[in-house]
Amino acid sequence: MKETDTQNGKGKVAAKSNAAEGLKELFIDELKDIIYAERALLKALPKMANNATEPKLISAIEQHVSVTEGQVKRLEQVFEILGESNRGKKCDAMEGLIKEAESILEETEAGAVRDAGIISASQKIEHYEIASYGTLIAFAKTLGENEIASLLESTLAEEKEADALLTDSAYNSINFQASEEDSE
């Protein structure tokens, strides 16, 4: 393949020398991605909580910190079952989602509008996690790793619950208050 094929953005991509060869390797790669993402999120969540004002939102975020700690431990368990190192691999998507969340803080005044922005950013993060765990569970099942699949299913259920909690706090009061601020 010619080098220009990849440079113009349309061509076929040449694999790196350490590219995943089978589903198992891809599975491990994606596990490294999600453990990196969860650890990055753990560092970012306290800032989100500190910048939120609605008590329900603050407690939803704080609750998700401890849930996320448990998810990291669960992933460490998964790596142990696989006999692999639990070192993460930089997750560009989560880095980008966190950056976006931080820029929402800069672009809003503290209060209902910023809260609505925090919910929006958090839901994008939850949906990334939901998509990632959904795929990982499918991979685990295909690979016959049933114990791992059930560990990941527990995490997926927690992510869906977090998403529902965020939706709830948005619909119940925050978006409403934020729209009130428009008319002030």
Provide the minimum distance between the beta carbon of 152 and Fe ion in the complex, in angstroms, as a whole number: 11
Residues that bind Fe ion (CB under 5 A): 38, 68, 71, 129, 159, 162
Nearest CB to Fe ion, comparing residues 86 and 177: 86
Residue pair 137/152 in contact (Cβ under 8 Å)? The answer is: yes
Provide the minimum distance between the beta carbon of 128 and Fe ion in the complex, in angstroms, as a whole number: 9
Provide the minimum distance between the beta carbon of 29 and Fe ion in the complex, in angstroms, as a whole number: 18
AA letter at 74? R
Nearest CB to Fe ion, comparing residues 127 and 177: 127
Q: Which of 121, 83, 87 is nearest to 104 (CA)?
A: 121
Nearest CB to Fe ion, comparing residues 68 and 113: 68
Retrieve residue 179's tokens: 């729209």
Nearest CB to Fe ion, comparing residues 113 and 170: 170
Rounded Cα distance, 68 and 128, in Å: 14
Provide the minimum distance between the beta carbon of 118 and Fe ion in the complex, in angstroms, as a whole number: 14
Rounded Cα distance, 114 and 109, in Å: 6
Residue 91 sits at φ, ψ, to 5 deg, of -100, 100
